Every structure is written in C-alpha cells, then in structure tokens.
Homo-oligomer: A and B are copies of this chain.
Amino acid sequence: MAVYTHVSDEALSAFLADYDIGSPRAFKGIAEGVENSNYYLETDKGRFILTLFEKRADPADLPYFIAVKRHLAAKHFPCPEPIIARDGEALRSLEGRPAVVISFLDGLSPRAPTPAQCRELGTGLARMHAALKDFDQTRENALGPAGWLKLWKGRASEADKLETGLAALIQSDIDATVHARPMSTELPRGTIHADLFPDNAFFLNDRFTGAIDFYFACTDALAYDIAVCINAWAFEAGAEYNYSKGAALIAGYESVRKLEPLEREALPLLCRGAALRFFLTRLVDWTDTPADALVKPKNPLDYAQRLRFHRTVRSAGEYGVE
C-alpha cells in the first residue's frame, strides 16, 4: 500500500507516447497492492492503472501474469486488461522498472464482506476457473508446500516469540499438510488466483465486478483457491469462523462447478495449508521488515488463530459444504 517508485514528467510522457491511449489528464499514486507501485492514470481516452513492478516481483514471471489477464479478458471475465503498446507488447519499462498499463475496473473492495458478497465471490471464483480452463501456460505455485518448508526454516523461535508454544503447533500443521499434500496433485487442477482477498475483489453493491492483482496466479488444485478464499473471506476479526459466509462462498462456487468427492475430502487440509501459507509469509515479513519500512507488515497471529480452527475441523461440512 504505497508508491515506491516515482515517475518523472519526461519518463511518463515518453512512456505514454508508445501507446494509443491518449494524453494524461490525471496521474495519482494509489494505495492499492502491497508489492508494487500503482498509479491512477486518466487520459482523454479513458481510465487506467499503471503498475511498476518492484524488486519482489520476478521479471521472468511477469509475461505469465499478463497472459492470464489477457486470457481472462478475452473470455469476458471481469479483470484489468493489459493494454498493448504500439510495439505489440504489454510488458514495458518505466523508470528502470518493468511496467504495465491495465484497464480500470469499476467497483469497491468490501472491508467487511457480507454473506451475499461471499456467495457472489464464490460464483466469480468458479467462473474464473472455468474461463482459465483452456489457458495453456503453467507456473508452479512458489508458495506451495516446498515453499512453506523454506519459509519456515529457522523461524521457530520467531513464532515462539509471538506466542509461547506456537512453533510446535506450526510444526504440527506443516507435518499434517506437507506430507498429506501430494494428494492435491490428484485433485482437479488449473490456473488459480491464489490471493483472492477482499482487497483484490471489486463489487458494486452486492454484485461482483471483477478481480485484480493476479501476481500470485499459478497452476494448482482449484480447491486450494477456495481454501484461500475461505480463509480470507469467512473469518471475523478475532478469527472466528463465520459459517454462513463460508457456506455462502462454497454454495456460490458450486452453483457453477460442483466439488468432486476428493475435493470435499481434501478441503480441511487445503484450508489448513492455505492458512499456513499466509501465516508463514506474514511471519517472514513480520520479522524481516525494518521498523522504518514504508509498508507495515500484517500480524501473522491472525493466521495462527485460523490454524487453531482448521486443526479442529474433521469434514468439509464444518465449513458449510452441503
């Protein structure tokens, strides 16, 4: 939620001269996205978002992310569409950073999603999976089980500093999920968003108007995307599970695609794995972020509390699967 890279007048003019999107009328840094710099850009031809990719983004991944969005846009799934410059490329360079101009998406991110919005989100997620069914590029989930082990290595004492005894619990989550996880390769797979938090979903009233920020998209179990959303949408502050929100989200998803028996069976472990993924990346950010950083790290304990819930769940029915 910051602007890391400033864009000079000359650099912006030179950059836009390579597009057919008109002359700028407004250009404002916006507090959207955590890892990159984003600008609201208005021209006499329309509204856009300009993203500059900062250090954490691997340049080798960027063409994949752009291809995902172009595929979705071509299938009329609502998401920001990368704008092609005159040279035929969407991925270009500005102020020494890889940069992309994307179309502006109407809608507001819900701060406290309602069950109706959770249902819409579930439907939207399933539509996204369907639209990506024939997308043929693949990308490994860098934040899958192998990634969790890397993130966790040497962090046990940091976890115990947050809460006495937490390290042993996290180790039990890792043991339960990492070793069970090969099963996920048997689940229906495809291209997933992998980070569809309320920040990354837009609504007009209760209508889902689209998803943004595909910078964790990858190839993985489709039900893992549902597990991420259950963690992100169906817990209240204090990490209490909101059954009606979770059930609405799953019902929305199943209105488009019914879960297979194996996916239902796997759901508790997938939810536990998804919570572990966000706990671990937040733990790393929490311990590695300098105190004077521009962006405040999020407290990993929110996800330690979700893990506490997931450890007790015995069946998908407890999340609201009918």
**Residues of A in contact with B (beta carbons under 8 Å apart):** 1-3, 6-10, 12, 23-32, 40, 42, 104, 106-108, 110-112, 204-205, 291-294, 296
Contacting residues, chain B, for A6 (C-beta < 8 A): 111
Closest B residue to A10 using CB positions: B112
Q: In the complex, A9→B199 CA distance in Å?
A: 13
Q: Of B7, B8, B25, B28, which one neighbours A30 at CB under 8 angstroms? A: B28
Q: Are A25 and B204 in contact, CB atoms less than 8 angstroms apart? A: yes
Q: Are B291 and A291 in contact, CB atoms less than 8 angstroms apart? A: yes
Q: Are B107 and A26 in contact, CB atoms less than 8 angstroms apart? A: yes
Closest B residue to A8 using CB positions: B111
Q: Of B2, B9, B106, B111, which one neighbours A112 at CB under 8 angstroms? A: B9
Q: Are B294 and A108 in contact, CB atoms less than 8 angstroms apart? A: no
Q: Are B9 and A29 in contact, CB atoms less than 8 angstroms apart? A: no
Q: Of B25, B32, B205, which one neighbours A29 at CB under 8 angstroms? A: B32
Closest B residue to A113 using CB positions: B9
Q: Are A294 and B296 in contact, CB atoms less than 8 angstroms apart? A: yes
Closest B residue to A292 using CB positions: B291
Q: What's the minimum C-beta distance from A192 to chain B, rounded to whole angstroms?
A: 26
Q: Of B7, B26, B32, which one neighbours A28 at CB under 8 angstroms? A: B32
Closest B residue to A49 using CB positions: B28
Q: Are B26 and A104 in contact, CB atoms less than 8 angstroms apart? A: yes
Q: Of B24, B110, B205, B293, which one neighbours A108 at CB under 8 angstroms? A: B24
Closest B residue to A40 using CB positions: B40
Contacting residues, chain B, for A26 (C-beta < 8 A): 104, 106-108
Q: In the complex, A205→B22 CA distance in Å?
A: 13
Q: A25-B106, A30-B28 are in contact. Are A8 and B112 (CB under 8 A)?
A: yes
Q: Are A1 and B3 in contact, CB atoms less than 8 angstroms apart? A: yes
Q: A108-B9, A111-B6 are in contact. Are A30 and B30 (CB under 8 A)?
A: yes
Closest B residue to A204 using CB positions: B25
Closest B residue to A114 using CB positions: B9
Closest B residue to A3 using CB positions: B31
Q: What's the minimum C-beta distance from A200 to chain B, rounded to whole angstroms?
A: 13
Closest B residue to A31 using CB positions: B29
Q: In the complex, A23→B205 CA distance in Å?
A: 9
Q: What's the minimum C-beta distance from A34 to chain B, rounded to whole angstroms?
A: 13
A/B interface sample: 19 pairs, CB < 8 A: A2-B2, A8-B111, A8-B112, A9-B108, A9-B110, A9-B112, A23-B204, A24-B108, A25-B106, A26-B104, A26-B107, A27-B108, A28-B40, A29-B32, A31-B31, A40-B40, A42-B106, A292-B292, A294-B296
